[in-house]
Amino acid sequence: MFLGIDLGTSEAKVLLLDGQHRIVATASEPLAISRPRPGWSEQDPADWWSATDRAVRKLAATQPLGAVQAIGLAGQMHGAVLLDAADAVLRRAILWNDGRSQAECAEMEAALPRLRAIAGNMAMPGFTAPKLWWLRRNEPAVFDRVATVLLPKDWLRLRLTGERISDLSDASGTLWLDVGARRWSTELLAASGLGLQHMPALVEGSARAGTLRAEVAQAWGLRAGIPVAGGGGDNAASAVGVGAVRAGQGFLSLGTSGVIFLAQERYEPRPDSAVHTYCHALPGLWHQMGVMLSAGSALRWACRLLGSTEAELLERVAALDEAALASAPLFLPYLDGERTPHNDADARGVLFGLTGSHDAASVTYAVIEGVAFGLRDGWQAMGAPGVEALSLVGGGARSALWARLLASALDVKLQTCEGAEAGGALGAARLAWLAAGGDAGEVCRPSAVRGRFEPDPAVQARLGPRHARFRTLYPALKDAFRPPAIH
């Protein structure tokens, strides 16, 4: 047995995988996000541990965990967990979808002409380094006490093993990693007022990265001393989970955020297009991503707004006729800003073209179509490479209606696979398997295909003019998104 732990933004999920690739059991616990100011997003690391502990205990109540041979970690990327010299948390973690450091990103780009060449990415507020630039300016007393900066899943590792270690895929999202060389960049660290002494050690995601402490093992019914794998950022781990570990293999993720992921054998960054280029969770591989900040979270927002469930709203969308779909409003899905291709933390969501005849179904359709259009823009920023198919993963993979719409919007075949909803937790369990000595060819095999979705020419004929109109809205509104100056 292998235990995967995925520390998401909205929940902590745990998964038990056996040696025949069967998902034996899963459990999860919800997480809340604190938004102390507009555009800010924070969580207390203590809540991560509490939710993970509850989820593992829930799992242990139904499945004995004594046979677990290793643990793997996956999680939300970019979050800044700040520790003092005694490993005490100094403040709530600033998360990946926090937009406060837009000005600091511009300063980084101006101060570091080699930033994009080294890090493989442009500076965006979601990344970790701009958060520390912001902290140094706005909370200097906290900054001066920082002894270690950890990413969210790596703070869990510290609790599990006592070790300060990160993996290369997660570290790629800090803007402190030399992504091509797969090592920390002293040049980028120094610009943030930090050094190697502030950073965790680095390993590949499939390598051992500490062993389980006795007190944690006893509390969870595990064996002390079992290895904890390096693990991966949520998307790299999800790729391992669906077997996207060779050049040209990839997936589309509909989680809180939306991601199009493509594995590569070479380091080939595209930072000027706001495309992310990271190390993969396996040695000798990289990957590119087009990332939008609000995907599944946009549909959840619609549910709260309309007072209904996802299933109820999507059922109503399925009943809309062609005329209603063609005349639905347009939705800009930038509820928390946007990354690819706009890199704009100030961008906001917009419902455009509302009339008195539009109802909840029309608005819901606009939301899922707007997410599809945002992903299409990201895919085009990646060069829309020719691929045979992309796997569809994350919570949004449960909706066949949304899957068909996405296949047509991207003009790419999509397929759902066994374990697709498990996301990073399955990949984390597979990385644990590798850390325990598993063979990569056997462990990382593609998951069994459960469903296939082909582009529909009729749907594409409707989407074409709507996407063209969608593309005019952000440039027209860009300046209006800027917050007014405070005098």
Contact partners, residue 310, CB within 8 Å, separation at least 6: 299, 300, 303, 399
Q: Crossing angle for the helix pair 310-318 and 360-381, nearest 10 degrees?
A: 90
- Confidence tier at 485 by pLDDT (50, 70, 90): low
Q: Which of 17, 12, 6, 155 is nearest to 93 (CA)?
A: 155
Same fold, 2-230 and 243-486: yes
Give residue 170's pLDDT: 98
Q: Where are the domains of the chain?
A: 2-230, 243-486
Structure-token pair, residue 108: 């980084």
Instruction: Enumerate the known binding-site residues for substrate.
Output: 77-78
In this predicted model, what pLDDT tens digit does every residue of 417-470 receive, in sequence order?
A: 877 778 799 999 999 999 999 999 999 998 888 899 999 999 999 999 999 999
Q: 């927002």: which residue's tokens?
A: 301
Active site residues: 234
Give the separation between CA 458 and CA 455, rounded to whole angstroms.
9
Q: How are beta strands 201-203 and 165-167 bridged, if at all? A: parallel
Average pLDDT, the chain: 94
Give the separation between CA 234 and CA 291, rounded to whole angstroms.
13
Q: How are beta strands 250-254 and 258-264 bridged, if at all? A: antiparallel
Q: How are beta strands 148-150 and 81-83 bridged, if at all? A: antiparallel
**6, 423 Cβ separation under 8 angstroms:** yes
Tell which phi-psi region holds residue 284, choosing left (phi > 0), alpha (psi between -120 and 50) or beta. left
Q: How are beta strands 42-43 and 93-94 bridged, if at all? A: antiparallel
Q: Which fold has domain 243-486?
A: Nucleotidyltransferase; domain 5 (3.30.420)
Q: Report pTM.
A: 0.89
In this predicted model, what pLDDT tens digit does every residue of 355-401 receive, in sequence order?
A: 999 999 999 999 999 999 999 999 999 987 888 899 998 777 788 99
Q: Which fold has domain 2-230?
A: Nucleotidyltransferase; domain 5 (3.30.420)
